[in-house]
A and B are shown apart, each in its own frame.
Chain A
């Protein structure tokens, strides 16, 4: 457990065809380098879970890795639509994509239920129209007060993938800043992979309440400086807003998208990310 290894080895060990995969990171620390490795290894039939599928899942869906998308907000933040996801849903290209749609509160609760080893999450929900299109929204009655409450199934991914700032020599992983739902995703999953900006000897000077995932909660840890590009890593590099804007053009039609994937994913490796993020590596 908690093995420090290369990114190709980490993904090969943890991600298999047909897996339910949750790549998390709420705008911050999005594991792009790991997603590109999944594309390079040619994984297929994945169910991709993510609260905010944005450019990272647009790339995986367009590359043909996914059979299903589970989400609660889908878009290119500040820019517009996910053209590859739309093409898959509306035209079945490069293959049909099923969708299962929630609200943020529903999915956040579902991750927490998964991490808590519960079969479902219970919360005060307001799914409105989604309850008519997603049969997983159910109602349970409180056994004490008889209140009607919303229930959704727990998220239990086969594998969770996150990016973080640091690991130590033992493979413990530390996140700082907007921590999103990553801890819950890792603890809800059977296997977990973390990429990190750097590996340090020890977490000297860390706050006693720092968000740390012990090495024994992770299957593999790989150092990939810049691995969250074009999202950001607090303390390392800012969000590359220009890339998100450029993605709208790159992804709008199939041919330019495929050419981009070929050049920047298939013919590149994790070591390319340091320069993209402006990190020395």
Chain B
């Protein structure tokens, strides 16, 4: 069955979520992946959105982080201070799913500015819930399309700390959580090296060459000794994903976005 690189990215991200996981969901691509997991292999997954909805089961993907659909399908809805204090800071969340505009080799993320903070070339939305998600979720999965604009040598601004300067840098900051453990792109899957914490390509998507990944990465990207091939999406995964995106487009008159 034919599929697009974007569909494979979403499917590969969804597969990382085990059934029963408690997952804090960013909007956009992460939301698509998390709901695909819920509608396929992980029906008992708990999805938490920062608007306070716990156990949301949306029939269509939310356009904003606080859509009524999330609240109406949730097990319960709590206040925003409660979601950040009791549930996220309280250590109740297994996995956080994030996207960003820029990432570096240690999986630090920028969603604040491109260019200087005082005179930005591009002003992005800012932190939102991402920095504390990365601090308090048991581990972080990052999903974003791969390009030199996004995968950069130096971040213009560190919005969200991944593995800092590498090595044990993250633990020095006092967080017991693992931080980013996977980066899923439309070309490959990366994981931090066990010692240096530098992102390393561990799986290439079908038909993608190592050179193509190098061209789309702003630093000399490392590859694992044995690079796997990402299994393609199954017919069932594609069917469920396309159905979800179609329902979403019909409901909103547009696709899901940031926010």
Chain A residues with a Cβ under 8 A of chain B: 26-28, 51-52, 54, 71-79, 81, 86, 89-90, 101-105, 108-109, 111-112, 123-130, 133, 147-148, 177-181, 183-184, 232, 234, 238-239, 241-242, 245
Count of chain B residues with a beta carbon within 8 Å of a chain A beta carbon: 55
Contact of A179 among B27, B79, B126, B131 (CB under 8 A): B79
Residues B258 and A75 in contact, CB atoms below 8 Å apart: yes
Residues A239 and B63 in contact, CB atoms below 8 Å apart: yes
B65 surroundings in chain A (CB, below 8 A): 26-27, 77
Binary per-residue interface labels of chain B (42-78) against chain A in the complex, 1 for a CB within 8 Å, 0 otherwise: 0000000011110000000001111110111000010
B157 surroundings in chain A (CB, below 8 A): 129
Docked Cα-Cα span, A51 to B88, in Å, equals: 17
Residues B89 and A123 in contact, CB atoms below 8 Å apart: yes
Residues A104 and B80 in contact, CB atoms below 8 Å apart: yes
B84 surroundings in chain A (CB, below 8 A): 104-105, 108-109, 123
Contact of B68 among A90, A123, A234 (CB under 8 A): A234
B169 within 8 A of A: no
7 cross-chain pairs, A with B, having the tightest CB-CB distances, nearest first? A77-B259, A27-B66, A78-B257, A75-B125, A77-B64, A126-B135, A73-B128
In the complex, 14 of the A-B residue pairs with CB atoms within 8 angstroms, ordered by the A residue number, are: A27-B65, A28-B68, A28-B71, A72-B126, A90-B120, A105-B84, A105-B89, A108-B84, A178-B71, A179-B79, A180-B51, A232-B68, A239-B63, A241-B254
Within 8 A of A (CB), among B105-142: 108, 112, 117, 119-120, 123-132, 134-136
B124 surroundings in chain A (CB, below 8 A): 75
Docked Cα-Cα span, A183 to B128, in Å, equals: 20
B256 surroundings in chain A (CB, below 8 A): 78
Within 8 A of A (CB), among B80-110: 80-81, 84-85, 88-89, 108
B159 within 8 A of A: yes
B219 within 8 A of A: no
- Identify the closest chain B residue to A108 (Cβ): B81
Whole-angstrom distance between the Cβ of A28 and the nearest chain B Cβ = 5
Count of chain A to chain B residue pairs whose CB atoms are closer than 8 Å in the complex: 172
Question: Which has the most chain B C-beta neighbours within 10 Å: A125, A128, A234?
Answer: A128
Residues B68 and A103 in contact, CB atoms below 8 Å apart: no
Docked Cα-Cα span, A239 to B60, in Å, equals: 14
A239 surroundings in chain B (CB, below 8 A): 63-64, 67-68
B174 within 8 A of A: yes
Extra pairs beyond A77-B64, A77-B257 (12, CB < 8 Å): A26-B65, A72-B128, A74-B123, A74-B125, A75-B258, A77-B258, A102-B127, A104-B132, A125-B132, A181-B81, A238-B68, A241-B252
B135 surroundings in chain A (CB, below 8 A): 124-126
Residues A104 and B50 in contact, CB atoms below 8 Å apart: yes
Docked Cα-Cα span, A178 to B136, in Å, equals: 23
Given A74-B126, A184-B79, A239-B68, does the pair A129, B53 have CB atoms closer than 8 Å? no
Binary per-residue interface labels of chain B (22-44) against chain A in the complex, 1 for a CB within 8 Å, 0 otherwise: 00000100000000000000000
A105 surroundings in chain B (CB, below 8 A): 84, 88-89, 129, 131-132
Whole-angstrom distance between the Cβ of B59 and the nearest chain A Cβ = 14
B85 surroundings in chain A (CB, below 8 A): 108-109, 112, 123
Residues B112 and A234 in contact, CB atoms below 8 Å apart: no
Contact of B64 among A78, A126, A184 (CB under 8 A): A78
B252 surroundings in chain A (CB, below 8 A): 78, 241
